[in-house]
Chains A and B, each alone.
Chain A
């Protein structure tokens, strides 16, 4: 048998929470109309980075694919040739796919990447109504071309020498503020 207090008072007391909240500032986010920035290190969509001349940093080593606990990454390497160069060294990633149906955005691939080719952006809108669209190809993942970058294939524009290239030696040296 429920007591008198339980039958009469409790239902009304419950509305007390509602009533009090009416006077508080709402926390609702107006997504997708308004987008709130994520935390700076938020694990979002991946990006394949470029060297300052636009060549790709990825060498197709598959270490990211190996590190991935969800088996979401597929990479195929290939040889650069003198006429068709995508990355400064001998090897580049010919096929690069991340399957966002599988990816758990853990970031282990980023840690595995020896060339810093793979990093994560803060982009989190990874939804679609077609499964095939969620397998991102290399073209979807490559970083946009910044000023001074040229879409590969092309020869190494910074320097012909590999060591200078990687150290950025022949880039215009910016004088430090005196």
Chain B
């Protein structure tokens, strides 16, 4: 386990304290705990409650050591808990290694702990990786003298749908409660009762809904906390562990994937002090079954011209059909935000080299040209500037268009840590969310669309950081105001996209105006640079169409073919229109892991590998590369290989066929150091909507029914209930009773939610973007900042 050093990168001069541990003199920084000073010199003192990222409590009493001299010449009369004791100059410490007193104290304590501990190891999920098992072996007595009835509890109890608690196994170390309180800020479990009946239980009244609950399972030093998902699934000695990177958000959390017999059994938090420390979200931990669902594509499919059905075909056959279909047709490329950097690069190169077009865009969502310009001028091809560590060292962090708890869990936890160091968080949002409350955030309340104005009025300094989420790009003038703010005040800004592949796609050149690493398409020098690296004569010089443009051009027939990779139509601004456009397209090539809503329109479907089955790199929102290797070797092909195959058939070889080659080429290209395009002028703000409508505020909650969370029953059951939020006045004006069903409607359709009163501005409603079966985008063709009509549900009373 490691601890992150304080936010600043330059090391402050540390004062060293010299003490003697087991007759060896050591010098350690002042304030070090004895247990860690001993660790530094290679003595492991047994422990349960001590955790380097949690505050010391001294709850389990396992780490007792003898202190013959506390540094003042006097010894301590009884053995002391080394995990709460700070070093002092001249202190003498004797651990179990050199002191029979410490050894006896530790053995005695372990015997106490085991007095009530059940003989559950054969049926306990922790068995084989259990600190209690291990330390009972290394520091315990072989025999127990306890002959009475052990304390019994009915087992297990459900702390949440996902987290189960076997109270008999608990050693009351309070790691779980401390994590929930200190790190996640969700006090969902607490210590109850006293004495022999003391136990961990659900905090009063509040059901344990935390997005980080899985971490408590991992840090519990015994098998008291287990997950319903993994219960009884396998044993640690049977698992093969591979370090990897989570694919669910742009945070790049380090994870450990445990698999056996070709199947992923569980995922654990990896340990990366620079990024996620030792914590991950429940999504990163539990949502890994999506790639092994029944609708997984295993063989290439080609649409039979006679029957109109997709029929399995050989790889060479399918690649040839794909190439024939694409040849000579004006074509575009749509990639979702889930690709790895290498794969995104292959698409970017494929578009330019094989299709001869700049019509490529990774944004499967609402977008604006303002955003395109912003990405080109402020994001692409820059070295990481704002990092996780910088968040801790900032004085104020402003969140705009971003709800970190839902959209970037690792940032949320870092900010939780930062506020303890005095960092102030300001949220520019329509209401104070639970996440914002846990960050102690000051709310700058705005109506969606008003963010630009709020940013323009902000007074910040150079020590301040603004984290802008993806939604700010949908606010006319929002990103321009952000850039203006940075220039005006010197505050640093960072763009925090939602998906793991978004930042990588920007760098790879999956944008109509950008070549890899920020090289502008319109810059002849940049084009020549890339053309030379790719050994091609020239590259298309005119900026291409963005996602909206490609969809419109397909519908209008200006584009006749499209290559779609890893994209959900339902995420696009108008899913029905997008489906119509794909229907109108003459030829659609789809590269997908599983059947998707693009498959029915595809002429050729080429199966590609999910991240777990290939190597790759995700770029975090900071721009930090997070490389990972194959976990399961199934022989599934990465997008690079498939695109290279089509390009070869087209007679315009891609030059890269493997992830390794793509990595090497990216390395060689390097960042662009030439001129960057100046951002265009800000577009006008949206006008007021028609009377009787309300402004929609919405984002995806961490746990919802996204496709990457399929096949995870217990995990999905821990989602927050889907509620519509608006203030009492707004609800009353629409004739909606609080607690009753309300309808949101647009000309495209309607969605029904239960309405809750919350402190939103007048005329604004918030709903989760996706909740069990209700997908706002697909139903309403409306999203963040759009106008919708609010009314009571059919059959409800009111206006």
B122 within 8 A of A: yes
Structural contact, B122 and A59, CB atoms closer than 8 A: yes
Structural contact, B235 and A90, CB atoms closer than 8 A: no
Residue in contact with A90 in the complex, picked from B121, B123, B128, CB distance below 8 Å: B123
State A65–B122 Cα separation when bound (angstroms).
12
Measured as residues with beta carbon below 8 angstroms from the partner, the interface class of chain B is: 10 to 19
B151 within 8 A of A: no
Q: Which B residues from 115 to 165 make CB contacts under 8 A with A?
A: 121-123, 127-128, 155-156
**What residues on A are CB-neighbors of B122 within 8 Å?**
59, 61, 63, 114-115
B231 within 8 A of A: yes
Structural contact, B232 and A91, CB atoms closer than 8 A: yes
A136 within 8 A of B: no
Structural contact, B123 and A62, CB atoms closer than 8 A: no
Least CB distance, A97 to chain B, in whole angstroms: 12
State A76–B261 Cα separation when bound (angstroms).
11
State A91–B128 Cα separation when bound (angstroms).
17
Question: Considering only CB atoms, which chain B residue lies closest to A80 in the complex?
Answer: B232
The proximity string for B residues 211-249 relative to A, scoring 1 for CB distances below 8 Å and 0 otherwise, is 000000000000000000001111101100000000000
Q: Which A residues from 48 to 67 make CB contacts under 8 A with B?
A: 59-63, 65-66
**What residues on A are CB-neighbors of B121 within 8 Å?**
61, 114
Structural contact, B231 and A62, CB atoms closer than 8 A: no
A79 within 8 A of B: yes
Structural contact, A77 and B238, CB atoms closer than 8 A: no
A59-B122, A90-B123 known; A65 vs B232 contact (CB < 8 Å): no
Structural contact, A59 and B123, CB atoms closer than 8 A: yes
State A63–B237 Cα separation when bound (angstroms).
10
**What residues on B are CB-neighbors of A153 within 8 Å?**
none
**What residues on B are CB-neighbors of A115 within 8 Å?**
122
**What residues on A are CB-neighbors of B123 within 8 Å?**
59, 61, 77, 89-91
Question: Considering only CB atoms, which chain B residue lies closest to A78 in the complex?
Answer: B232
Residue in contact with B235 in the complex, picked from A62, A79, A114, CB distance below 8 Å: A62
Question: Considering only CB atoms, which chain B residue lies closest to A115 in the complex?
Answer: B122
The proximity string for A residues 111-132 relative to B, scoring 1 for CB distances below 8 Å and 0 otherwise, is 0001100000000000000000
Structural contact, A62 and B238, CB atoms closer than 8 A: yes
Question: Considering only CB atoms, which chain A residue lies closest to B156 in the complex?
Answer: A90
**What residues on B are CB-neighbors of A65 within 8 Å?**
235, 238
Least CB distance, A82 to chain B, in whole angstroms: 14
A89-B123, A91-B123, A114-B122 known; A60 vs B237 contact (CB < 8 Å): no
**What residues on A are CB-neighbors of B233 within 8 Å?**
76-77
State A30–B237 Cα separation when bound (angstroms).
46
Structural contact, B238 and A60, CB atoms closer than 8 A: no
Which of A59, A61, A78, A114 has most B Cβ within 10 Å? Answer: A61
Residue in contact with B231 in the complex, picked from A61, A66, A79, CB distance below 8 Å: A79
Q: Which A residues from 64 to 110 make CB contacts under 8 A with B?
A: 65-66, 76-79, 89-91
Least CB distance, A159 to chain B, in whole angstroms: 16
Least CB distance, A65 to chain B, in whole angstroms: 7
**What residues on B are CB-neighbors of A63 within 8 Å?**
122
**What residues on A are CB-neighbors of B156 within 8 Å?**
90
State A59–B119 Cα separation when bound (angstroms).
13
Least CB distance, A144 to chain B, in whole angstroms: 25
Least CB distance, A171 to chain B, in whole angstroms: 22
Structural contact, B235 and A66, CB atoms closer than 8 A: yes
Structural contact, A77 and B232, CB atoms closer than 8 A: yes
**What residues on B are CB-neighbors of A90 within 8 Å?**
123, 155-156, 232
State A61–B231 Cα separation when bound (angstroms).
12
State A63–B234 Cα separation when bound (angstroms).
11
Question: Considering only CB atoms, which chain B residue lies closest to A117 in the complex?
Answer: B122
Least CB distance, A95 to chain B, in whole angstroms: 10
State A62–B125 Cα separation when bound (angstroms).
11
State A114–B123 Cα separation when bound (angstroms).
10
The proximity string for B residues 652-676 relative to A, scoring 1 for CB distances below 8 Å and 0 otherwise, is 0000000000000000000000000
Residue in contact with B232 in the complex, picked from A60, A66, A114, CB distance below 8 Å: A60
Which of B127, B232, B233 has most A Cβ within 10 Å? Answer: B232
State A47–B127 Cα separation when bound (angstroms).
24
Question: Considering only CB atoms, which chain A residue lies closest to B231 in the complex?
Answer: A79
State A91–B233 Cα separation when bound (angstroms).
10
Least CB distance, A80 to chain B, in whole angstroms: 9
**What residues on A are CB-neighbors of B234 within 8 Å?**
62, 76-77
Structural contact, A61 and B238, CB atoms closer than 8 A: no
The proximity string for A residues 7-22 relative to B, scoring 1 for CB distances below 8 Å and 0 otherwise, is 0000000000000000
The proximity string for B residues 94-133 relative to A, scoring 1 for CB distances below 8 Å and 0 otherwise, is 0000000000000000000000000001110001100000
Question: Considering only CB atoms, which chain B residue lies closest to A90 in the complex?
Answer: B123
Residue in contact with B237 in the complex, picked from A59, A66, A79, CB distance below 8 Å: A66
State A141–B655 Cα separation when bound (angstroms).
56
**What residues on B are CB-neighbors of A76 within 8 Å?**
233-234
Question: Considering only CB atoms, which chain A residue lies closest to B166 in the complex?
Answer: A90
State A78–B230 Cα separation when bound (angstroms).
10
Least CB distance, B119 to chain A, in whole angstroms: 8
Which of B121, B127, B235, B238 has most A Cβ within 10 Å? Answer: B235
Least CB distance, B565 to chain A, in whole angstroms: 36
**What residues on A are CB-neighbors of B237 within 8 Å?**
62, 66
State A89–B232 Cα separation when bound (angstroms).
12
State A12–B156 Cα separation when bound (angstroms).
82
State A115–B156 Cα separation when bound (angstroms).
21
State A91–B124 Cα separation when bound (angstroms).
9
Question: Considering only CB atoms, which chain B residue lies closest to A87 in the complex?
Answer: B123
Question: Considering only CB atoms, which chain B residue lies closest to A58 in the complex?
Answer: B122
Least CB distance, A150 to chain B, in whole angstroms: 23
Question: Considering only CB atoms, which chain B residue lies closest to A163 in the complex?
Answer: B152
State A91–B155 Cα separation when bound (angstroms).
12
**What residues on B are CB-neighbors of A66 within 8 Å?**
128, 235, 237-238
Question: Considering only CB atoms, which chain A residue lies closest to B261 in the complex?
Answer: A74
**What residues on A are CB-neighbors of B238 within 8 Å?**
62, 65-66
Q: Which B residues from 3 to 41 make CB contacts under 8 A with A?
A: none
Least CB distance, B128 to chain A, in whole angstroms: 8
Question: Considering only CB atoms, which chain A residue lies closest to B232 in the complex?
Answer: A77
State A14–B233 Cα separation when bound (angstroms).
66
State A78–B155 Cα separation when bound (angstroms).
16
Which of B121, B122, B128, B235 has most A Cβ within 10 Å? Answer: B122
Q: Which B residues from 231 to 287 make CB contacts under 8 A with A?
A: 231-235, 237-238
State A61–B126 Cα separation when bound (angstroms).
11
The proximity string for B residues 444-465 relative to A, scoring 1 for CB distances below 8 Å and 0 otherwise, is 0000000000000000000000
Q: Which B residues from 517 to 555 make CB contacts under 8 A with A?
A: none
**What residues on B are CB-neighbors of A91 within 8 Å?**
123, 232
**What residues on B are CB-neighbors of A89 within 8 Å?**
123
**What residues on A are CB-neighbors of B231 within 8 Å?**
79
**What residues on B are CB-neighbors of A79 within 8 Å?**
231-232
**What residues on B are CB-neighbors of A62 within 8 Å?**
234-235, 237-238
Least CB distance, A91 to chain B, in whole angstroms: 4
State A62–B155 Cα separation when bound (angstroms).
22
State A60–B156 Cα separation when bound (angstroms).
18
State A104–B121 Cα separation when bound (angstroms).
27
Question: Considering only CB atoms, which chain A residue lies closest to B152 in the complex?
Answer: A163
**What residues on A are CB-neighbors of B127 within 8 Å?**
61
State A90–B228 Cα separation when bound (angstroms).
13
**What residues on A are CB-neighbors of B128 within 8 Å?**
66
**What residues on A are CB-neighbors of B155 within 8 Å?**
90
State A62–B238 Cα separation when bound (angstroms).
9
State A63–B127 Cα separation when bound (angstroms).
10
Q: Which B residues from 552 to 580 make CB contacts under 8 A with A?
A: none
State A9–B358 Cα separation when bound (angstroms).
102
Question: Considering only CB atoms, which chain B residue lies closest to A65 in the complex?
Answer: B238
> 5 A-B contacts, Cβ less than 8 Å apart?
A60-B232, A77-B232, A79-B231, A90-B123, A90-B232
Give chain B's interface residues, CB within 8 Å of chain A. Answer: 121-123, 127-128, 155-156, 231-235, 237-238
User: Other CB < 8 Å A-B pairs besides A62-B237, A65-B238, A90-B155, 5 of them?
Assistant: A63-B122, A76-B233, A77-B123, A78-B232, A79-B232
9 tightest Cβ-Cβ pairs between the two chains A and B? A61-B122, A77-B232, A91-B123, A114-B122, A62-B235, A91-B232, A59-B123, A66-B237, A79-B232
